[in-house]
Amino acid sequence: MLSYRHGFHAGNPADVFKHSVVLALLRAMQEKPGGITCIDTHTGAAVYDLSSDFACKNREFERGILPLWHAAEVAPALDDYLHQVRALNHGDTLRYYPGSSQLLRQLLRPQDRLILCELHPTEQAQLSKHFHRDRRVTLHHGDGYAALANYLPPGNGRGLILIDPPYELKTELQDLRNALEPAMQRFGHGVYALWYPLIEGKHSTPDGLPEALHLRGEKWLDLSIEIAQQKRLGRMFGCGMAIINCPFRARQTLQTIAQLFNNA
């Protein structure tokens, strides 16, 4: 039974951090001309309407994207990201927020591909409607973990895999570990970006996910942020992005992004 709906959380501080990181990663990979296959294992919907009942329930976007949208000045490391959000809206009013799928699609070059996996039927329907005309996009209505066996290694030899589960199930970390090991065997030089929450009483240290996955070594870049007290909701006090095989040229920008969001 899937109860998680990302519409309640779209545009919150964790989303804004995650999407800025994903954008910077892909941009760095795109400095080389070879085509890239992006896989979003847990896609959610394509675009979120911030005036919907979902988004307005807790108005989480008011703690994330909205202050950035209205900021008089934006740090250069976030310029491109904000530009992508603006591209989806008309004029000065922020209404639509891009999910990871839409953001990735906006960045695709003709030689790149996007594979979107989603389990929830409502989100699947929205994705089908939104992306059906785009030949660069493949929709996988099914388990994103299992899908990795189908799509890795990618035909073009380069890949960015975003793994962004809801962490609703107690088995999530085990599922993630079970999927990651064979994925790494099939495609050891792929760039994998894993989002994880920092929850009071659960992950009390910023190195929660790499620790839990027994991941060690310099091929990892682990970025984590604490969310400023006044922007927190519930027990989530921060989040992180753990990146396997992070391209060297992306590191500086990613670290700058994490500093910008940490306690901001």
Active site residues: 164
Region of 56-64, 79-87, 116-124, 245-253 interacting with ligand SAM (CB under 6 A): 116-124
The closest alpha carbon to 236, from 92, 34, 64, 29, belongs to 64
User: Which residue, 34 or 146, is less far from ligand SAM as judged by CB?
Assistant: 146
User: Which residue, 165 or 206, is less far from ligand SAM as judged by CB?
Assistant: 165
The answer to whether residue 87 forms part of the interface with ligand SAM (CB under 6 A) is no
Compose the 173-212 pattern: x for residues touching ligand SAM by CB under 6 A, - for all others: ----------------------------------------
Burial class (CB in 10 A: 0-12, 13-18, 19+), 191: buried
Region of 57-65, 119-127, 181-189, 216-224 interacting with ligand SAM (CB under 6 A): 119-127
Question: Residue 106 and residue 101: Cα distance in Å, rounded?
Answer: 9
- Binding residue for ligand SAM (CB under 6 A) from 94, 108, 117, 250? 117
Nearest approach in angstroms of CB 83 to ligand SAM is: 18
**28 near 249, Cβ under 8 Å?**
yes
Here the tokens at position 135 are 């030949």
Per-residue 3-state assignment (H helix, E strand, C coil) for 8-59: HCCCCHHHHHHHHHHHHHHHHHCCCCCCCEEEECCCCCCEEECCCHHHHHHC
Compose the 23-42 pattern: x for residues touching ligand SAM by CB under 6 A, - for all others: -----------------x-x
- Residues in 134-153 at the binding interface with ligand SAM, rule: CB under 6 A: 143-145
Nearest approach in angstroms of CB 86 to ligand SAM is: 17
Instruction: Give the amino acid at 43.
Output: T
Q: H or E segment at 139?
A: strand 137-141
Question: Residue 65 and residue 11: Cα distance in Å, rounded?
Answer: 5
**213 near 240, Cβ under 8 Å?**
no
Distances (CA, A) of 105 to 80, 120, 138, 177: 14, 20, 11, 27
Nearest approach in angstroms of CB 234 to ligand SAM is: 15
The answer to whether residue 6 forms part of the interface with ligand SAM (CB under 6 A) is yes
The answer to whether residue 99 forms part of the interface with ligand SAM (CB under 6 A) is yes
The answer to whether residue 96 forms part of the interface with ligand SAM (CB under 6 A) is no
User: Which residue, 101 or 253, is less far from ligand SAM as judged by CB?
Assistant: 101
- Binding residue for ligand SAM (CB under 6 A) from 82, 88, 166, 231? 166
Collapsed DSSP state (helix, strand, coil) of residue 97:
strand
The answer to whether residue 130 forms part of the interface with ligand SAM (CB under 6 A) is no
- Give the interface with ligand SAM as residue ranges (CB under 6 A): 2, 4, 6, 18, 40, 42-44, 99-100, 117-120, 123, 143-145, 164-166
